[in-house]
């Protein structure tokens, strides 16, 4: 018989606060068109994107994360000293080690929290949220900060007509804490590694010198679109089932902000009722990968399109190919 005593964590967890940071520079499609043969109309019709934010030299992954984290902690009514864990999802922090989470934790004033990075592409926020929930229920932390942050402008090939217009920069953060009732449902997550070539970095860092060109993100657009629309709609439905609710019970739908056509197609496939508010932050923010869901969540709440206590379905999907979907109560 095991001598290990059961942990004394919370029974449930919830999102307590949310914060976001978008770089000050707004980049319209006209800037993108300086290097590719396309048009504003084509970009809007294919992606729904009209503008995106690109970071300056000072708006580093760390700096953007600190700004978003501070807002989330304040929104939760907490102080940095109460944060017991910092999870950062990013693919655009270029130091292999140490984890950028440790630097962020120090700069926000957290006191010796668990701190680590994860790499799950556009599904990274969902992965981080799930890990945070586990930490709280396990009792290893009372409050956990989850950050999705990207500087994808550093990984964008501005001469690639298929991707040059897609990506933006920014950081989104939430604080997860204990709850008296379920605030984060069971996550439906997974991966399909046989499709890993559909979204990838052009060359590994080890070949950067010989390649002669800085690595960038590339993707097979049509394959990704079909996978996202058909397979991810199934995952979204599984997440609703796991939460024990139907589409009629939803107030808000916050999918990864990859592409407006994907979002609209998922809404149609899921047969979401008209009363459900759908996040379409991609129009002015672009695809910010791991940051897209918390940034969209923050904007919906800030503009009054969603409110505290609403039931929201969130789903992220991207490179790997990986995915994560769950139902949450908005803070």
Catalytic residue among 29, 53, 259, 287: 287
Is 256 designated active site?
yes
Helix (H) or strand (E) holding 119: none
Furthest C-alpha separation in the chain? 69
Residue 8 has what DSSP assignment? Answer: -
According to DSSP, the residues that pair with 12 across neighbouring strands are: 179
Evaluate whether 225 touches 48 at the Cβ level (below 8 Å): no
DSSP string, 229-273: IIIHHHHHHHHHHHHT--GGG-SEEEE--S-HHHHHHHHHHHT--
Token duo for residue 89 = 């999802």
Residue 184 has what DSSP assignment? Answer: B
Catalytic residue among 93, 122, 259, 275: 122
Token duo for residue 209 = 């010198």
Catalytic residue among 53, 256, 259, 275: 256
Which residues contact residue 267 at a Cβ distance below 8 angstroms, ignoring those fewer than 6 apart?
A: 253, 276, 278
Token duo for residue 182 = 């379920």
Q: Residue 75 and residue 222: Cα distance in Å, rounded?
A: 39
Residue 148 has what DSSP assignment? Answer: E
Cα dist from 66 to 108, 115, 171, 288, whole Å: 6, 14, 9, 17
Q: Residue 26 and residue 14: Cα distance in Å, rounded?
A: 33
Evaluate whether 117 touches 102 at the Cβ level (below 8 Å): no
Write down the residue that tokens 């992954």 correspond to.
61
Is 287 designated active site?
yes
Token duo for residue 91 = 């693919």
Q: So which residues are the catalytic ones?
A: 122, 256, 287
């Amino acid at each position: 018989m095991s001598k290990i005593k059961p942990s004394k964590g919370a029974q449930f967890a919830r999102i307590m606060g949310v914060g976001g940071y978008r770089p000050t520079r707004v980049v319209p499609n006209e800037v993108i068109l300086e290097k590719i043969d396309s048009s504003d109309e084509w970009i809007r019709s294919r992606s729904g994107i009209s503008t995106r934010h690109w970071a300056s030299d000072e708006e580093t992954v760390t700096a953007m994360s600190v700004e978003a984290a501070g807002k989330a902690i304040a929104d939760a009514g907490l102080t940095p000293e109460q944060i017991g864990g910092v999870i950062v999802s990013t693919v655009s922090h270029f130091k292999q080690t140490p984890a950028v989470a440790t630097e962020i934790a120090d700069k926000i004033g957290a006191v010796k929290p668990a701190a680590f990075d994860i790499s799950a592409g556009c599904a990274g926020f969902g992965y981080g949220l799930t890990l945070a929930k586990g930490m709280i229920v396990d009792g290893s932390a009372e409050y956990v900060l989850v950050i999705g942050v990207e500087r994808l402008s550093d990984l964008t090939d501005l001469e690639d007509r298929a991707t040059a217009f897609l990506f933006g920069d920014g950081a989104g953060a939430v604080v997860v804490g204990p709850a008296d009732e379920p605030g984060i449902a069971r996550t439906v997550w997974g991966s399909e590694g046989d499709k890993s070539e559909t979204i990838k970095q052009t060359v590994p860092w080890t070949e950067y010198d010989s390649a002669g060109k800085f690595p960038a993100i590339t993707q097979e657009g049509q394959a990704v679109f079909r996978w996202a629309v058909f397979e991810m709609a199934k995952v979204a439905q599984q997440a609703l089932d796991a939460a024990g609710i139907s589409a009629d019970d939803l107030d808000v739908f916050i999918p990864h902000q990859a592409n407006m056509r994907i979002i609209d197609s998922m809404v149609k496939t899921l047969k979401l009722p008209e009363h459900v508010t759908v996040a379409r932050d991609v129009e002015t923010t672009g695809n910010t990968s791991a940051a897209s869901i918390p940034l969209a969540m923050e904007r919906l709440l800030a503009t009054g399109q969603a409110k505290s206590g609403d039931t929201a379905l969130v789903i992220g999907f991207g490179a790997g190919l990986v995915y994560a979907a769950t139902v949450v109560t908005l803070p």
